């Protein structure tokens, strides 16, 4: 087995075209920002009832996936799996860039991005959002240090392992904070559940690994570097386990809500009476994004099956977050429990939401920012190994 060698990717024609395509998507996103800034959020599909729209689904997906993209580095440094060690550097880099992309969507969706200064200078520590500002910025700092230690030749490996442990614990805290945004919102019956925190943690494992596989394979293909089938299928099986974990915690979430009478209405809405949200839940989240990837990686293991499973996990992840974020707001609030409201505004009415084109381009722009930053990092930093063939990587370690 050869010594692991890291090299920057070369600026080939394919790399330039890929970067240009991402820049076009970012330009479309910036155009949407200017359009919404000028006309106001009235041009989006968001309204007084649904204040978190499609851009927030993209942002939360990227933030959750950022935590999960650190899977590979954590498995190598914290759990001692040597087969994953050559990919640890890029795992840390991708985690940072995905988080940057997600936060970019949130900032650009504010309408007044300058208000971010208020959030950075005045903290209300009774708000989970204030906590997350510290968790997100801290994550980039901790993972950045972890990446630097990995790339430093003179640093003993025990310090790399210690930094990896710190990054692993911080990512758990980050995803716990993101899930708690919904779990602690007791006013909305679609959110009010303590299991949201562990659910988001296992979602990060699944979504992040799927994104890591697709991005890494793309960069290896663009730079003409081998990636072994045995290692890829091993990671595919791990992805299947994570996807099964997401399904398990989803079942626990809904069984818990069904047990509580106060959540019977929202469960009926999600499971069989919610129209689009019910279809997304059963067909896309559970079927396409859960059961099908598990079947692919365990019943028909192959290179193509692993790649397809990764794509399906991402599609199912977007559907799951759409149901949680949008569906949870669409279900009506019960402002006066136990009373009948004779006159009011939208009481007892399921709110409608149709995402606009500018919301879609803004969300895709955040993905493009994350991918472009990861590509630039791979171009200027030695984070990608030159050879991950089965002959060079012990897939059984």
Q: What global pTM score does this model have?
A: 0.94
Using CA atoms, how far residue 106 sits from 61, 265, 356, in Å, is 12, 31, 16
Burial, 351: exposed, middle or buried (Cβ in 10 Å; 0-12, 13-18, 19+)? middle
**pLDDT band, very low/low/confident/very high, at 396 (cuts 50, 70, 90):** very low
The model's pLDDT over 8-30, given as tens digits with 9 standing for 90+, comes to 999 999 999 999 999 999 999 99
Domain with residues 13-335+349-380, CATH architecture: Up-down Bundle (1.20)
Each as own residue / partner, the long-range contacts of residues 11-19 (CB below 8 Å, 24 or more positions apart, any chain) are 11/379, 12/222, 12/223, 14/222, 15/222, 15/223, 15/375, 15/379, 18/218, 18/222, 18/375, 19/372, 19/375
Cβ–Cβ under 8 Å, residues 317 and 281: no
- Minimal CA–CA distance to 208: which of 177, 165, 174, 164? 174
Flag whether pLDDT at 2 surpasses 60: no
SS3 227: strand
Within 8 A by CB and 6+ apart from 338, the residues are none
**pLDDT band, very low/low/confident/very high, at 333 (cuts 50, 70, 90):** confident
Flag whether pLDDT at 1 surpasses 70: no
Beta bridge partners, 388, equal 227
The count of other CB atoms within 10 Å of the CB of residue 225 is 17
The model's pLDDT over 127-174, given as tens digits with 9 standing for 90+, comes to 787 888 889 999 999 999 999 999 998 888 899 999 999 999 999 999
Helix spans in the chain (H): 13-39, 54-69, 71-77, 88-108, 116-121, 128-151, 157-183, 196-222, 229-259, 264-268, 276-279, 292-299, 303-322, 328-330, 357-380
Using CA atoms, how far residue 360 sits from 31, 52, 320, 333, in Å, is 12, 13, 17, 27
Flag whether pLDDT at 340 surpasses 80: no
Beta bridge partners, 6, equal 385
Least confident window among 98-112, 298-312, 320-334: 98-112
Flag whether pLDDT at 343 surpasses 70: no
The model's pLDDT over 227-281, given as tens digits with 9 standing for 90+, comes to 999 999 999 999 999 999 999 999 999 999 999 888 888 999 999 988 999 999 9
- Minimal CA–CA distance to 25: which of 376, 379, 363, 378? 363
At residue 346, the pLDDT reads 67
SS3 342: coil
What CA–CA distance (Å, rounded) separates 220 from 201?
28
**pLDDT band, very low/low/confident/very high, at 192 (cuts 50, 70, 90):** confident
What CA–CA distance (Å, rounded) separates 314 from 24?
22
């Amino acid at each position: 087995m050869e010594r692991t060698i890291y090299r920057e990717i070369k600026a080939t024609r394919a790399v330039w075209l890929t970067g240009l395509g991402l820049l076009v998507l970012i330009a479309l996103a910036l155009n949407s920002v200017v359009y919404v800034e000028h006309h106001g959020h009235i041009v989006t599909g968001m309204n007084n009832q649904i204040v978190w729209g499609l851009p927030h689904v993209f942002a939360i997906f990227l933030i959750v996936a950022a935590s999960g993209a650190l899977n590979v580095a954590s498995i190598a440094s914290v759990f001692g799996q040597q087969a994953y060690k050559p990919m640890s550097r890029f795992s840390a880099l991708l985690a940072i860039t995905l988080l940057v992309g997600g936060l970019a969507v949130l900032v650009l969706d504010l309408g007044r991005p300058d208000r971010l200064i208020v959030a950075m200078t005045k903290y209300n520590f009774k708000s989970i959002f204030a906590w997350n500002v510290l968790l997100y910025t801290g994550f980039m700092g901790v993972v950045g240090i972890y990446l630097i230690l990995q790339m430093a030749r003179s640093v003993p490996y025990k310090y790399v392992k210690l930094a990896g442990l710190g990054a692993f614990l911080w990512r758990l805290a980050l995803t716990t904070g993101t899930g708690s945004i919904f779990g602690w919102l007791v006013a909305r019956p679609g959110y009010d559940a303590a299991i949201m925190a562990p659910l988001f943690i296992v979602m990060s494992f699944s979504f992040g690994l799927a994104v890591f596989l697709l991005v890494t394979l793309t960069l290896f293909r663009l730079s003409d570097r081998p990636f072994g089938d045995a290692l890829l299928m091993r990671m595919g099986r791990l992805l299947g386990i994570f996807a099964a974990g997401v399904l398990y915690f989803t079942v626990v979430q809904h069984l818990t809500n069904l047990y509580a009478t106060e959540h019977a209405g929202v469960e009926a809405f999600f499971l069989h009476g919610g129209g689009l949200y019910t279809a997304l839940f059963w067909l896309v989240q559970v079927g396409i994004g859960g059961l099908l990837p598990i079947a692919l990686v365990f019943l028909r293991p192959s290179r193509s099956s692993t790649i397809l499973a990764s794509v399906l996990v991402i599609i199912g992840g977007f559907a799951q977050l759409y149901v949680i974020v949008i569906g949870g707001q669409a279900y009506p609030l019960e402002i006066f429990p136990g009373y009948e409201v004779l006159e009011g505004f939208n009481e007892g009415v399921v709110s409608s939401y149709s995402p606009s084109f500018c919301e879609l381009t803004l969300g895709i722009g955040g993905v493009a920012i994350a991918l472009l930053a990861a590509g630039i990092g791979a171009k200027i930093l030695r984070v990608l190994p030159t050879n991950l063939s089965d002959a060079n990587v012990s897939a059984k370690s």
